[in-house]
């Protein structure tokens, strides 16, 4: 779960510039997932 928020949900869970917490966290999660998949084992 990338966190709270999104369109029409959880008012107040936003960054100072108005971005929803979920939108930011989801970008981080997707980037992390790509990096993990590209790691050599």
Residue 34 structure tokens: 């790509």
The three-state secondary structure class of 1 is coil
Is the distance from CB of 10 to CB of 18 less than 8 angstroms? no
Given this model, what pLDDT does residue 36 score?
A: 95
Given this model, what pLDDT does residue 26 score?
A: 87
Range of the domain at 14: 1-41
- For residue 16, give the DSSP letter: T
Given this model, what pLDDT does residue 15 score?
A: 83
Domain count for the chain: 1
User: pLDDT tens digits for the chain (41 residues)?
Assistant: 566 666 666 666 788 898 888 888 889 999 999 999 999 76
Given this model, what pLDDT does residue 39 score?
A: 92
Q: Scanning the structure block, which residue is given the tokens 């993990």?
A: 36
Given this model, what pLDDT does residue 8 score?
A: 64
Q: Would the pTM of this model clear 0.75, i.e. be above it?
A: no
């Amino acid at each position: 779960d990338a966190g709270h928020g999104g369109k029409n949900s959880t008012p107040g869970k936003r960054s100072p510039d108005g971005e929803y917490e979920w939108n930011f966290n989801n970008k981080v999660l997707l980037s992390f997932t790509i990096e993990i998949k590209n790691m050599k084992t």
